[in-house]
Amino acid sequence: MSTLPWIEKYRPKTVDDISYQDEIVAVLKKIISNDTGEFPNFLFYGPPGTGKTSTILAAARELFGPELMKSRVLELNSSDERGINVIREKVKTFAQFTPSGHRSDGKSCPPFKIVILDEADSMTSSAQAALRRTMEKESKTTRFCLICNYISRIIEPITSRCSKFRFKPLSKDILIQRLSFIAEKENIACDRDTLVTLVNCSEGDLRKAITYLQCASRLKLESGCIKSSDVLEIAGILKDDVIEKILDTCSTGSFEKVEQCVQNLIFDGFSCNQIVTQLHDVLIERHDLNDAKKAIIFEKIACVDNDLIEGADEYLQLLDLLVLIMKQMK
Amino acid sequence: MSLWCDKHRPKTLNTLDYHKEQADQLKKLVHSEDFPHLLVYGPNGAGKKTRIMCSLKELYGPGVEKLRIERQQFETPSKKTIEMTTLASNYHIEINASDAGIYDRIVIQEMIKTIAQTNQLDAQTQKSFKVIVLTEVDKLTKDAQHALRRTMEKYMNSCRLILCCNSTSRVIPAVRSRCLSLRVPAPTADQIAMILKQTCKTEGLNLPQELANKIALKSNRNLRRALLMCETAYVAHYPFTNDQEISEPDWELFLRETARQIVQQQSVDRIVQIRDRLYELLCHCIPADIIFKGLLKELLTICDGQLKPQIVEIAADMEHKMNLGDKQIFYLEAFVVKFMSIYKKHLEFSLAGCI
Amino acid sequence: MALPWVEKYRPKSLNELISQDSIIETIQRFIKNDQLPHLLFYGPPGTGKTSTILACAKQLYTPTEFNAMVLELNASDDRGIGIVRDQIMSFASTKTIFKKGFKLIILDEADAMTNDAQNALRRILEKFTDNVRFCIICNYLSKIIPAIQSRCTRFRFGPLSDDKMNFRLDHIIQAEKVDITEDGMKAVIHLASGDMRKALNIMQSTHLAFNKVNEENVYNCVGHPSKNDMLSVINWLLNDDFTTIYNRLIHLKTLKGYALQDIMTEVSRFVQMIEFPKKVLIHILEKLSDIEYRLSNGTNEKLQMSSLISTFIMARNMSEFKPKAITA
């Protein structure tokens, strides 16, 4: 039968288990142990896979105990309907029930409820506007915790009503530590090299790293040890020599060759964003390009990255970029 | 009376002709304890849907092939009803969510919720989950993709998603991180030629190697297209000859002629004529980004090497803006006009240099 | 009571409101002469708009009359055109028996109302002036249709001045016994940029996390780049070569967890303080806004950071630009 995804299985259960986010853990621990119940509205933001949702869930579990959690915590996220009406109805009704101060296991339970709004940056701005007054009005009995990746997508009036905490991307050591722990528990053979590749591929996102690990282990069932190349293929990352070949083609100065190269890349199905990012990383270290040329190239790379997100055609954008690199390399 | 590309589509993972190592991995995956969400991506005609169907068959057996068309209705918050056509079997359902346009988020949420909440009837013999196949995921709005991500986590127990798209650039990273990505590259020209020959053999026809190679090259590494071209060639003229003409789609010829006209004369009158031609293409449902690419390709073959970088830049810029805007004809025209003005200047400049 | 400080210390009477003195004076005069017009309060958040009208209402009506005479609708309530036609209309058109004078309708966060609803509103504004006064509150004046703007007297609530904020914050610091240093206070006020609510939130979260509210803790808590770090960044951008700047910036970002957007806000502030030749300044500011736009689309921070470096490299190569070390 279906096993739990490892990201759920190994989610931290207490606030102490959260790795690397020292400031917010300090604040939360104070609040949890503090009986005056001063709990502000929170806004957790930061790159994905750094522990935002896990943190507030762990804090809620510690505050309310596992049984009361269901009645004291309302979790809403983008998969649920979240236009204006949901905010008005669901949140308002939930916020209006007065909670008791007792817990079945005898510990004191703070007299408020928590509404967790996950992926808040995808709420429409009118839904966010409806939220602000609700936050103010129901502040006696309810606290809000908004979670998002980009704080700029949350309207200013809301961010000024919350205590903001940025979740930092996790350091490589923490990631390696956590991954080895999981690999051991799941009986996966995985050498240090592979772990380092995993960490490099995931860029500080623990969820990504664990998912890659799980995927790799699925594809390698009988054959035992997971290799670095497996991880690269799963992550959709191009091998270094492919990138080198692209740059060599650009340096030939032949338009036709560059055109053919782009065509082949598209045929191979690689994600254009991935190609652009990897080109960027390699070009940073190149010494044969002076700063002025680098400046032009990287400006173009940033534009292409944006245009791709806005939906432009991959072939045209990639061709445009490589042609520019070719011009600069002459 | 089905086309060759449908008739001879491989039905099981064992009978796939290329990317065999990937087929092996898929098989392992299917038989493993937990089947993950999948994101299958690659260029057109590379075989993504084929592989998905094969995997489904491996998962559930032949019952998967009994397909029926269903129509489902969804109600949006603004009280509008959308009707969606889906393809379903007892074990899976296939939707093209981008058909719903701006309401795709609603469709996804409702659809996945309903399916996830209905349980399998016979729990012993079947897998405990259903599969939802979502095609053209890269055309989904960002809203719909956000709706997808948490849904994927929440309903992991009762359903699995197989997402299919051309490129992962437009799929948000959060969705990508929740799936196992499978890259399906386009087959090489040799592989295509081999498949063409095999298909013809099964049909009892004799396809000479040279013709097979010719078709494979012209098909742009798109297997579906190659098979269609081959079938057209068969209908046009059998027995096959090596120097047989392979017909190109008429819109491609039209584009080539348009490009030729652009290069021939740069004037306001000519622009008006080109506009008519562009409208003609748009009316025949040729997608605007294909017009862009096609036009660019033709113009690049005709114009001077010096101008190429500039023209590519303009094309990329206009195409990008076209995606943000509403009326495609504006951007197509803008591109043509810009090209004309650059080309004309260049001509005058080089002529002046010669004198 | 477990209240955030923002709610606990919300001003309850007009005297407690800081800043906006001229506005309060004017309104008090209106009330005294019984000549209160329709009001339109606009301005950035945290400047006292809602508090002002609530305090006015408390002054105009006794607590018992309050519910009958005041209707408060904000963005969390349904304010579509249906509600305008029904609820607001009926409230506006009825007179209460025992109280002379007008009723008050407060429309908070009015920029979230649709244009249709606003259009339906303007007729009510005209028709029932003798019976009811409207107070419309919004952040962005441009979101209110001109027809309504012309029927109201507009009051702009500007960002609060530093010493006014200081004054009010001192009062709260005493009440809550906050251990705050002078540079901590400066940091709080600087980061708040005239928004009282923001200042209180920052102070409260720093107090909760670190007990001592000094400059370092404030910046740490908010995740904003510290002044020293920003000075280093500007120095690198103006002097070093591409690869060096890039590696240093990446190191700083990972170490301190700064968002590129925050770094850029500070960079743009610094840039305006340095004396660049005009052309260079224009170039930099233009490119900074482009990068900010791209970031808001969700692009890769690494790539946009390189583009930030590109901007400065290109600026350095322009005209007779002489890089120098910045100290102040």
Which residue from A8, A83, A271 is facing B168, i.e. has the nearest CB?
Answer: A271
A-chain residue closest to C6, CA distance: A161
Report yes or no on B245 lying in a domain.
no
Interface of C with A in 161-190 (CB under 8 A): none
Residue whose pair of structure tokens reads 């602000």 in the numeric block: A132
State whether C306 and A298 contact (CB < 8 Å): yes
Q: Per residue in A201-230, pLDDT tens?
A: 887 788 888 888 887 887 766 566 788 888
Average pLDDT of the segment spanning A35-41: 70
Peptide bond into B239 cis (omega under 30): yes
Q: Per residue in C73-132, pLDDT tens?
A: 775 566 666 776 787 888 877 876 666 678 888 888 787 777 888 888 888 888 887 788
Report yes or no on B268 lying in a domain.
yes
Exposure on the CB side of residue B290, measured as CA atoms within 13 A? 11
Residue A112 to residue A141: CA distance in whole angstroms: 5
State whether B170 and A48 contact (CB < 8 Å): no
Chain centroid, CA B321 distance in Å:
22
State whether B181 and A221 contact (CB < 8 Å): no
Interface size, chain A vs chain C, as Cβ–Cβ contacts under 8 Å? 180
The residue with greater pLDDT, B24 or C234, is C234
State whether A39 and C197 contact (CB < 8 Å): no
Interface of C with A in 202-231 (CB under 8 A): 202, 204-205, 208-210, 220-223
Q: Please indicate, yes or no, whether residues B124 and B169 belong to a single structural domain of this protein.
A: yes
- Where does a domain end: B143, B160, B183? B183
Distance of residue C121 Cα from the nearest chain A Cα, in angstroms: 19
B-chain residue closest to A123, CA distance: B143
CA distances from A59 to A52, A100, B226 (A): 11, 18, 59
Q: Please indicate, yes or no, whether residues B176 and B298 belong to a single structural domain of this protein.
A: no
B-chain residue closest to A121, CA distance: B146
Q: C139, C146 in Cβ contact below 8 A?
A: no
Q: Which chain A residues touch C221 with a CB distance below 8 Å? A: 23, 165
Number of domains chain B is built from: 3
Is C291 in the A-facing interface, judged by CB distances under 8 Å? yes
State whether A291 and C139 contact (CB < 8 Å): no
Distance of residue C31 Cα from the nearest chain A Cα, in angstroms: 27
The reply to whether ipTM tops 0.95 is no
Q: Which chain A residues touch C257 with a CB distance below 8 Å? A: 46, 166-169
Which pLDDT score is estimated for A2? 43
Residue A95 to residue A113: CA distance in whole angstroms: 7
Which pLDDT score is estimated for C2? 45
State whether B28 and A81 contact (CB < 8 Å): no
Which residue from A219, A316, A327 is facing B319, i.e. has the nearest CB?
Answer: A316
Q: B161, B40 in Cβ contact below 8 A?
A: no
Which residues in chain B show pLDDT less than 70? 1, 119-127, 150, 354-355
The DSSP output letter for B119 is P
Q: Which of C9, C73, C76, C288 is the best mutation test for A, with the most CBs of A within 10 A?
A: C76
Which pLDDT score is estimated for A152? 65
Q: Which of A315-324, B263-272, C208-217 has the lowest mean pLDDT?
A: C208-217
The pairs formed by B109-114 with CB atoms below 8 angstroms and a separation of 24 or more are B109/A79, B109/A80, B109/A81, B109/B147, B109/B151, B110/B74, B111/B72, B111/B74, B111/B84, B111/B86, B112/B148, B112/B151, B112/B155, B112/B159, B112/B161, B113/B151, B113/B155
Give the confidence band of C288 by pLDDT, cuts at 50, 70, 90. very high
Contacting subunits of A (3+ beta carbon pairs below 8 A):
B, C
Average pLDDT of the segment spanning A302-308: 93
Q: Please indicate, yes or no, whether residues B34 and B159 belong to a single structural domain of this protein.
A: yes
Report yes or no on B242 lying in a domain.
no
Which residue from C111, C195, C246 is facing A284, i.e. has the nearest CB?
Answer: C246
Report yes or no on B243 lying in a domain.
no
State whether A78 and B147 contact (CB < 8 Å): yes
Q: Please indicate, yes or no, whether residues B152 and B273 belong to a single structural domain of this protein.
A: no
Q: Which chain B residues touch A323 with a CB distance below 8 Å? A: 308-309, 312-313
Q: B150, A78 in Cβ contact below 8 A?
A: yes
Q: Per residue in A243-300, pLDDT tens?
A: 999 999 999 988 999 999 999 999 888 888 889 999 999 999 888 888 889 999 999 9
Q: Please indicate, yes or no, whether residues B224 and B324 belong to a single structural domain of this protein.
A: no
Report yes or no on B139 lying in a domain.
yes
The domains found in chain A, sorted by start residue, are 6-166 (3.40.50.300), 172-235 (1.10.8.60), 240-329 (1.20.272.10)
Which residue from B180, B296, B305 is facing A215, i.e. has the nearest CB?
Answer: B180
Distance of residue A166 Cα from the nearest chain C Cα, in angstroms: 6
Residue whose pair of structure tokens reads 């919300």 in the numeric block: C10
Percent over 90 (pLDDT), chain A? 17
Which residue from C3, C45, C298 is facing A156, i.e. has the nearest CB?
Answer: C45
| Residues β-bridged to residue A45 | A148, A166
C-chain residue closest to A133, CA distance: C76
| Residue B45 backbone zone (phi > 0: left; psi -120 to 50: alpha; other: beta) | left
B-chain residue closest to A323, CA distance: B309
Q: Please indicate, yes or no, whether residues B307 and B324 belong to a single structural domain of this protein.
A: yes
State whether A38 and C302 contact (CB < 8 Å): no
What CATH homologous superfamily does C5-156 map to? P-loop containing nucleotide triphosphate hydrolases (3.40.50.300)
The DSSP output letter for A5 is P
Which residue from B146, B183, B185 is facing A119, i.e. has the nearest CB?
Answer: B146
A-chain residue closest to C306, CA distance: A298
Question: What domain range includes position B10?
Answer: 4-183
- Where does a domain end: B142, B162, B183? B183
Which residue from A27, A87, A204 is facing C209, i.e. has the nearest CB?
Answer: A27
Residue C115 tokens, joined:
């244009």
Q: Please indicate, yes or no, whether residues B226 and B267 belong to a single structural domain of this protein.
A: no
State whether A313 and B156 contact (CB < 8 Å): no
Report yes or no on B244 lying in a domain.
no
Query: Is a pLDDT exceeding 50 seen at residue A1?
Result: no
State whether A323 and B312 contact (CB < 8 Å): yes
State whether A313 and B293 contact (CB < 8 Å): yes
Q: Per residue in C37-53, pLDDT tens?
A: 899 999 988 888 888 88
CB atoms within 10 A of CB A16: 12
State whether A269 and B312 contact (CB < 8 Å): no
Q: Which helix (H) or strand (E) holds B165?
A: strand B159-165
Q: Which chain C residues touch A126 with a CB distance below 8 Å? A: 75, 112
Which pLDDT score is estimated for A104? 58
Query: Whole-angstrom distance between the N-terminal and C-terminal Cα of chain B?
Result: 65
Report yes or no on B112 lying in a domain.
yes
State whether A87 and C241 contact (CB < 8 Å): no
Please tell me the class of the C162-222 domain. mainly alpha
Q: Which helix (H) or strand (E) holds C144?
A: none
Report yes or no on B32 lying in a domain.
yes
Interface of B with A in 227-286 (CB under 8 A): none
Is C302 in the A-facing interface, judged by CB distances under 8 Å? yes
Q: Per residue in A132-189, pLDDT tens?
A: 777 777 777 888 899 987 776 677 667 767 777 888 778 888 889 889 998 888 888 8
Residue A232 to residue A220: CA distance in whole angstroms: 14
Does the C227-316 domain belong in CATH 3.40.47.10? no
Which residue from A92, A303, A310 is facing C76, i.e. has the nearest CB?
Answer: A92
Chain centroid, CA B79 distance in Å:
33
Which pLDDT score is estimated for A326? 92
Where are chain C's structural domains? 5-156, 162-222, 227-316
Q: Please indicate, yes or no, whether residues B128 and B35 belong to a single structural domain of this protein.
A: yes
Q: Which helix (H) or strand (E) holds C2?
A: none
State whether A77 and B289 contact (CB < 8 Å): no
* Helix/strand/coil for C104: strand
- Where does a domain end: B203, B236, B269? B236
